[in-house]
Chain A
Amino acid sequence: MDSYADFMARAYAMELEANERYAQFADQLDTHNNREVAQMFRKLSQVEALHAKRILEEMRWPSMPVLPPAYAWETTEGPETAPFDQLHYLMQPFHALEIALKCELQAQKYFEDIAAGKAPPAVRKAATEMADEEREHVRLIRDWMKRVPQPKPGWDEDPDPPSVTE
């Protein structure tokens, strides 16, 4: 991590990628008539958008910084980006939150590692703050998970066979 600006750009990229991914998930589940979970992902997407916006404001960047399209994260994608294969068309709200939880935990670890590493002090300070924030997100999601029903066995059963479209 070379500089504070570099670090913030990465943090921004992380939030933006998470925002876009959750939005895509919302679209997929809307298309597949799973409204409830679609709405959850839509909300999660908006939250990430807010985080991203905050970074923009803090850095006083006039617009989205132009980022290299494919950052070389240590994980295959950004720490806060849920992989595409996590979805199921019949998934329950609890599953969505499980996915979000995993992402927040990964993000938390990402910042903690930077905070504990060899980056310049300004960066480490910012990383610590961000790690704290992610920890708070983790807590919020865990709370949210308590408020949604646990998926019952057979949640993924569909009496109808798949249909052919072409």
Chain B
Amino acid sequence: MNAPTTVAALVAKDFKSDYKPVWCPGCGDYSVLSAITKALAMLNLRPENVAVVSGIGCSSRIPAYTTCYGFHGVHGRALPVATGLKAARPDLTVLVASGDGDGYSIGGNHFLHACRRNVDLTYIVMDNHVYGMTKGQPSPTTEPDWSSKLAPGGTGLREFHPLVIALASGANFVARAFSGDPNGCASMIAEAVKHPGFSFIEVLSPCVTFRPEQRAWKDAVHAAPVAATDDPARAARRIMTDDGFNIGVLYKGSRPAYKPGSGRTADESAQAVAALEAGFRLQEE
């Protein structure tokens, strides 16, 4: 009996490095890593043509756990690194990994502008409503009444709504995923990578150590009741009124991706540099 075959391709395992992650057992990020590797295999990419860029935090550890090129930068600045990389190397597939603290707090400004700029990137934020790496402080998506050492009794602040912000800022693809469904996540990531422009996936990814109550998320999540819309206003209404556990691709827009720059060969480039001198030369009599 012949084995079922498809075109010989890499499998998810080929995208997973030999490094054993140090995330707590039970962490949602393990699923996200699995989902990313599956998605990259589904897309028939090669690890050397993929770059995973991250900031600082538990989720930002992800690049070295893949066999892709990785960039583990400073806190909050993954999006600009990825933007510069993609602008200089449009041939690469660039994924950006972050968490709710890294991405929405210190990285907040870059988030707005990355959505607005609409460079072809896929931004995966593992949201666990807490700063995990620094032992449990509230993040912008933490509930106002969650008590912590830094804010006993809760911050009293309304949570940041990243999907609404992303949509309003111009992201071309807005989705919410749940780490409890790695295969669903994988499909969404693959779809996001394929979709041109800035694709944003917020992954609800529980923190077993500092937010053990988030184990209940698997009962709260549900598939989004309608398919993704390409109408920003409709998407905005839906996202602003959803319960935060609506899983699925919620918006798929059609803004063209931002593609700065024009390519030239190295020789053409060198000649062109010399030609620029004309701008400074004084006319001779």
Q: Do A and B come from one complex?
A: yes
Question: Which residues of A are at the interface with B, using a C-beta cutoff of 8 A?
Answer: 4-6, 9, 20, 24-25, 27-32, 34, 59-73, 76-77, 83-89, 91, 161-166
In the complex, chain B residues whose CB is within 8 Å of the CB of A161: 135
Supposing A9-B3, A165-B133, A166-B56 touch, asked if A88 and B186 sit within 8 A by C-beta, the answer is no
Shortest CB–CB separation between residue B152 and chain A, in angstroms?
A: 17
What's the nearest-Cβ distance from chain A to residue B155, in Å? 21
**CB neighbours of B133 from chain A (8 A):** 164-166
Q: Which A residues lie within 8 Å of B1 (CB)?
A: 4-5, 59-61
B15-39 interface (Cβ within 8 A of A): 20-28, 30-31, 34, 38
Name which residue of chain A comes closest to B13, CB basis: A20
Q: State the CA gap A163–B210 with chains docked (Å).
A: 12
Known contacts A76-B183, A164-B135, A166-B56; A66/B6 CB under 8 A: yes
Considering the complex, give the chain B residue whose CB is closest to the CB of A64.
Answer: B3
20 contacts between A and B (CB under 8 A): A9-B4, A30-B20, A34-B25, A59-B3, A61-B1, A66-B9, A68-B6, A69-B11, A69-B41, A70-B42, A71-B183, A72-B183, A76-B181, A84-B28, A84-B182, A85-B215, A87-B26, A162-B135, A162-B136, A166-B133
Distance, CA A133 to CA B133, complexed state (A): 44
B8 lies within 8 A of chain A by Cβ: yes
CB distance A162 to B186 under 8 Å?
Answer: no
Query: Residue among A28, A59, A67, A89 with the most chain B CB within 10 A?
Result: A28
Q: Are the CB atoms of A28 and B56 closer together than 8 Å?
A: no
Nearest CB on A from B89, distance (A): 26
Q: Which residue of A lies closest to B136 (CB)?
A: A162
A85-B206, A162-B209, A164-B133 are contacts. A66–B5 as well, Cβ < 8 Å?
yes
Most buried by B among A29, A63, A73, A83: A83
- Tally inter-chain residue pairs, CB-CB below 8 A: 109
B26 contacts across to A, CB distance below 8 A: 84-89
Give the complex CA separation of A61 and B4 in angstroms.
9
Residue B76 is within 8 A (CB to CB) of chain A in the complex: no
Q: A20-B13, A162-B135 are in contact. Are A89 and B24 (CB under 8 A)?
A: yes
Give the residue among B2, B38, B215 with the most A Cβ atoms within 10 A: B2
Write out the residue numbers on chain B whose beta carbons fall within 8 Å of the beta carbon of A68: 6
Distance (whole angstroms) from the CB of A46 to the closest CB of chain B: 17
For chain B residues 77-135, which have a beta carbon within 8 Å of chain A? 133-135
Q: Given the complex of chains A and B, what is the CA–CA distance between A91 and B6 in angstroms?
A: 40
Closest CB in chain A relative to B119 CB, distance in Å? 27
A69 and B25 form a contact (CB under 8 A): no
Which single residue of chain B is at the shortest CB-CB distance from A87? B25
A20 / chain B contacts, CB cutoff of 8 Å: 13
Chain A residues contacting B257 (CB-CB under 8 Å) are: none
**Given the complex of chains A and B, what is the CA–CA distance between A93 and B8 in angstroms?**
40
Apart from the given pairs A24-B30, A76-B183, A85-B28, 7 other A-B contacts in the complex at a CB distance below 8 Å: A31-B20, A68-B6, A70-B186, A84-B179, A86-B26, A165-B22, A166-B57
Cα A27 to Cα B179 in complex, Å, equals 19
Q: How far is the CA of A29 from the CA of B26 in the complex (A)?
A: 10
**Is B5 a contact of A29 with CB atoms below 8 Å?**
no
Min CB gap B11→A, angstroms: 7
Would you list the 10 A-B pairs with minimal beta carbon distance, nearest first?
Answer: A87-B25, A65-B3, A61-B3, A70-B183, A76-B181, A84-B30, A28-B25, A87-B26, A27-B20, A69-B41
